[in-house]
Amino acid sequence: MSTETMPAKSLAPVARGGLAQSVTDSLTIAKRNLIRMMRIPEMVIFGLIQPIMFVVLFTYVFGGSINIPGADAGNLKQAYKDFLMAGIFAQTVTFATAGAGAGIADDMHKGLIDRFRSLPMARGAVLTGRTLADLVQTALTLVVLAAVALLIGWRAHEAIPKVLAGFALLLLLGYAFSWIGALIGLSVRTPEAATSGGLIWLFPLTFISNAFVPVDGMPSFLQHVAEWNPFSATVQAARELFGNTIEGRPVSVTGAWPMEHPVLASLIWSVLIILVFRTLAVRKYRSATV
């Protein structure tokens, strides 16, 4: 009498495949993170305070001292408000990167990522869901910030579809940078390190740009850096779509292509950043949780 030996079944969860399943899993994780944000409202409140402070400080402290080339001499303060706000909007969406990285690092530190990995779900869903939830929070912050900007006198001078397109480009840049934050969060050991790592490179990126001061006054080599900066491309695109540019003023000091075609350049930069850093982040996620 012979006994037939049956192969033992693996107890490891098998991730279900398919684009539809990946979308479903990502939305489930995004919902989980949004519920968490609603239960901790101070996360949203503190995220609003910093950009509002930047608006007030730059407008009322520096606004009267910064000259925008080509602006009407009798309307310098209003010219700076129109010039500034696209930069503040862009800074706000990119600074959310630090929060995204810290959140993922915290989940790693608490072992939550390993729990997600034990479930039969798409591997990239955890990171995609997290970045989508951060995008929703960033959009909320942007709405509040736009209201504050209107209160202090900023105005958009284009039709509503163009204005909405400007905000869409800003959110796309923020989403792209959130993948950089995800990679940083997976690469460090603590949330504190993720916060520091998420901010240390953002300051030179945002300040060596056309966001807060005209590029004209920078040294020649910094002008080239600023005008090829992906952050600058989105700022310039937003200014054009908001109607906040000065008629007759050259859009570029160095003749840089991104400044001559800012909307297209902003799209290219953002999509490229998403493709590169999403690939790296998902790869890091897989190796970090094995």
Residue 1 has pLDDT above 50, yes or no: no
Full-model pTM:
0.86
| DSSP 8-state symbol, 59 | I
- Given a contact cutoff of 8 angstroms between Cβ atoms, the answer to whether 288 and 188 are in contact is no
Residues 6+ apart with CB under 8 A from 204: none
Other beta carbons less than 10 A from residue 44's beta carbon: 14
Q: pLDDT per residue over 234-252, tens digit each?
A: 999 999 999 998 776 778 8
Residues 6+ apart with CB under 8 A from 22: 122, 124, 125, 128
CA angle, residues 111, 109, 18, in degrees to nearest 5: 55
User: Where is average pLDDT lowest: 15-19, 215-219, 259-263?
Assistant: 15-19
- Given a contact cutoff of 8 angstroms between Cβ atoms, the answer to whether 100 and 182 are in contact is yes
Per-domain residue ranges of the chain: 19-288
- Label residue 18 by pLDDT band (50, 70, 90): low
C-alpha–C-alpha distance, residues 34 and 252, integer Å: 40
C-alpha–C-alpha distance, residues 281 and 129, integer Å: 13
What percent of the chain has pLDDT above 90?
A: 36
